[in-house]
Amino acid sequence: MEANSADQPSLISSTSEDNKVRHDQLEPLLGPKNPSSSSSFTPSDHDIPPIDGVRDFFREFRSESKKLWYLAGPAIFTSICRYSLGAITQVFAGHIDTLALAAVSVENSVIAGFSFGVMLGMGSALETLCGQAYGAGQIDMLGVYLQRSWVILLTTGVILSPIYIFAEPLLKLIGQTPEISEAAGTFAIWMIPQLFAYSMNFPIAKFLQAQSKIMVMAAIAAAALVLHTFFSWLLILKLGWGLVGAAVVLNASWWFIIVALLVYIFSGSCGRAWSGFSWKAFHNLWGFVKLSFASAVMLCLETWYFMALILFAGYLKNAQVSVDALSICMNILGWTIMVSFGINAAISVRVSNELGAAHPRTAKFSLVVAVITSFLIAVVLSLILIITRDEYPSLFSKDTDVKILVKQLTPVLATCIIINDVQPVLSGVAVGAGWQSFVAYVNVACYYLFGIPLGLLLGYTLDMGVKGIWYGMLSGTVLQTCVLFWMVYRTNWNREMFNNIDGIIFNGDITTKGRWQFYCNSVGFTTGGSWLSRPKTTKRTKEILLGMILQLGKCL
C-alpha cells in the first residue's frame, strides 16, 4: 500500500492535523510487510506510548492522576455528601433511642438498600453507553440515553413500591424482631418518595459524569447536606418529630438534589448532550433493559451482600445491640467506600471514554492509577480508625454495650475498608468496559456460595458472633477482588476497544452513513472525499467493510 498522492483517491483521508494517518498505523490492521514481525494495533496517535522504565511510569502516573482526580475529587465529595444524608439521619435517630436507630438502620440497609442496589445497577447501563458514546463523539445520543434510562427506572420504581408498602411483614418473614419490624416498616412507607428520587438521580448522575460535569453535582450535594443537617436537628431533636421528621427531611433532601440537577440540564448547560425530549427514548428499550439488568444484577449482588450481614446480626443474641453496632460500622464503611465509589465513577468514565476514543493503553493505565490511589487512601483511613477506636463510637451512640462492640469490631472494619476500597474500582472498570454479566456470575460464586456459608459457619456454629459472620463474608469479598484482578490482568484491551466500538455502532441508534463515520472518527480518521463517501458505494458494501475491520481488530 503506497502513500496517497494528491491525484489518487484515498481509502481514508485526513482533514485535520489531529487526524493524520500514516502507513505504519494502518499496517497492523491490514497485515505487516514482514509476516514474522508482530505489532499491536494502535488506532490513534493520542494513545499513550508503551511504558518503558520507572521514569516513564511516574511521568504517565502523574499525568493520569491529574485526569483521574479532576473527575474523582468532585465525585468523591458528591458521593460522601449523598451518603451522609442517610448516615446523618441514623446519627440523629441514635440519639432518640436504640429502637429508632435499629428501625432506621434496617430500613436503610434492607428496604432502601435493596432498592438502591437495583436502581444503581440499572443506572450503570447508562454509564457504559454514555461514556463510550461521549468518548467517540456521539454527543447527541446522551440525552436520548438519559430519557431511555428514566423510562426504565421509573417503571422499576413502581414495581419496587410494594416492598416499601409491605415492609413490616417482609421483615418479620425474614426473621427480624416484631419491634424492629414494626418501626422499620412504618418508616419504610414514609420513604417511598426517596425510591422515585433514586429513579431520577442515578441516570442524571451517569449522564453528567460521562461529560465530566462533576462540579455542579458536588455543589448541589454540598448544599443539600448542609440543609439536611440543619433541618434534621430542627425536626428530629428540637421539635421532637422523631422518625416522622427524619423521613420528611430525608425525602426533601433527595428531591432538592433532583430538582436542582434538572434545572441545570434543562437550562442548556449540557449543550448538544441535551436537545429536549425525544420519542427516540422509547426505541430499542429491550436492548437497554438487557444491559441495565446485567448491571443491576452485578451491583445488587454486592449491595445485598452487606444487607445480609445486617440481617444475620439480627438473629444473634441481644439483637438490638448487634444490629446497632454493626450499623455504625457499616455507616463508617459506607463513608470510606464513598471514596472508592468516587474513583469508581471516575475510572468508569475514563475507561469508557478511552475505549470509545480507541485508546486501549490509556484505558489500561487508568485502571492501574485508580487501584493504587484507592489502596493508599484506604490504608490511611484504616490507620485513623484504629488509632481513634476508643473515641469515635461515642459519636454514634450513647449506649455502653454498643460502643464496646463497635470498638471490638474496629480491626475487622479496618481490614474491610482496605479490601472494599479497591474492589469497587475494579467493578467500575467492569461497568466501563461492559463486563457486567460475567461479573454477576463471579459475585454469585464468591459472595453467596463461599462468603455467606463461611460467615454463618464462623458466626453460629463456631459461636464467634457478629465478628465471625463478618470475617466469613469478608473472605468472599477478598476472593471476588482476586478474581477481578485476574480478569483485568488477562484483558486484551485492543479487543475491548473493538468490542465497545462495535457495540455502540450496531445498537440501532446510528444510521448506516453515521456508523461508518462514527467508526472512523472514533479511531481518528475521517471519510471526507474518499470513495467510501461516494453515492456508488452501496450501504451493504460499507457494512461489509466495516464488519471486516471490526472482526480483524477483535482478532488482534
Portion of the chain with pLDDT greater than 90, in percent: 13
Instruction: Assess if residue 36 is contained within a domain.
Output: no
**Same-domain pairing of 397 and 537:** no
**Same-domain pairing of 289 and 399:** yes
Mean pLDDT, rounded, for 248-270? 92
**Same-domain pairing of 138 and 268:** yes
User: Alpha carbon of 307 to those of 106, 114, 323: distances in Å?
Assistant: 9, 8, 11
Instruction: Assess if residue 21 is contained within a domain.
Output: no
Evaluate if residue 385 carries a pLDDT over 80. Answer: yes
**Same-domain pairing of 431 and 525:** no
**Same-domain pairing of 233 and 301:** yes
**Same-domain pairing of 222 and 327:** yes
Residue 401's CB: how many other CB atoms inside 10 A? Answer: 15
**Same-domain pairing of 140 and 194:** yes
Q: Please indicate whether residue 332 or residue 551 has the higher confidence score (pLDDT).
A: 332
Residue 222 contacts residue 205 (beta carbons within 8 Å):
no
Instruction: Assess if residue 90 is contained within a domain.
Output: yes
Concatenated DSSP letters of 122-166? HHHHHHHHHHHHHHTT-TTHHHHHHHHHHHHHHHHHHHHHHHHHT
What confidence category does residue 74 fall into, taking pLDDT thresholds of 50, 70 and 90? confident
> Tens digits of per-residue pLDDT, 310-329?
778 777 777 778 878 887 88
Among 467, 496, 525, the domain-final residue is 496
Instruction: Assess if residue 19 is contained within a domain.
Output: no
pLDDT of residue 356: 65
**Same-domain pairing of 175 and 274:** yes
Q: Which residues contact 544 (CB under 8 A, 6 or more apart)?
A: none
Which of 136-140, 143-147, 261-265 has the weakest average pLDDT? Answer: 136-140
**Same-domain pairing of 292 and 399:** yes
Q: Classify each residue of 471-498 as buried b or exposed e, where b means 16 or more C-beta atoms within 10 Å of its C-beta.
A: bbbbbbbbbbbebbeebbeebebbebbb
Instruction: Assess if residue 299 is contained within a domain.
Output: yes
The grid cell for 533 is 463517501
pLDDT of residue 552: 42
What confidence category does residue 506 fall into, taking pLDDT thresholds of 50, 70 and 90? very low
Residue 442 contacts residue 399 (beta carbons within 8 Å):
no
**Same-domain pairing of 429 and 480:** yes
3-state secondary structure 82-127: HHHHHHHHHHHHHCCCHHHHHHHHHHHHHHHHHHHHHHHHHHHHHH
**Same-domain pairing of 347 and 476:** yes
pLDDT of residue 194: 92
Evaluate if residue 511 carries a pLDDT over 70. Answer: no
**Same-domain pairing of 483 and 524:** no
Structural domain count, the chain: 2
Mean pLDDT, rounded, for 520-529? 42
pLDDT of residue 425: 66
The grid cell for 458 is 464462623
Mean pLDDT, rounded, for 520-538? 42
Among 444, 470, 496, the domain-final residue is 496
Instruction: Assess if residue 408 is contained within a domain.
Output: yes
E strand residue ranges, 482-527: none
Evaluate if residue 447 carries a pLDDT over 80. Answer: yes
pLDDT of residue 192: 93
Instruction: Assess if residue 140 is contained within a domain.
Output: yes
Q: Please indicate whether residue 118 or residue 530 has the higher confidence score (pLDDT).
A: 118
Instruction: Assess if residue 224 is contained within a domain.
Output: yes
Among 471, 496, 521, the domain-final residue is 496
- Which structural domain range is residue 522 located in? 511-556
Question: What's the CA dihedral at 137, 341, 302, 165 to 10 degrees?
Answer: -90
> Tens digits of per-residue pLDDT, 421-430?
777 667 666 6
Can you tell me which residue has the cell 434538572?
Answer: 262
pLDDT of residue 166: 93
> Tens digits of per-residue pLDDT, 197-225?
999 988 898 888 777 788 898 899 999 99
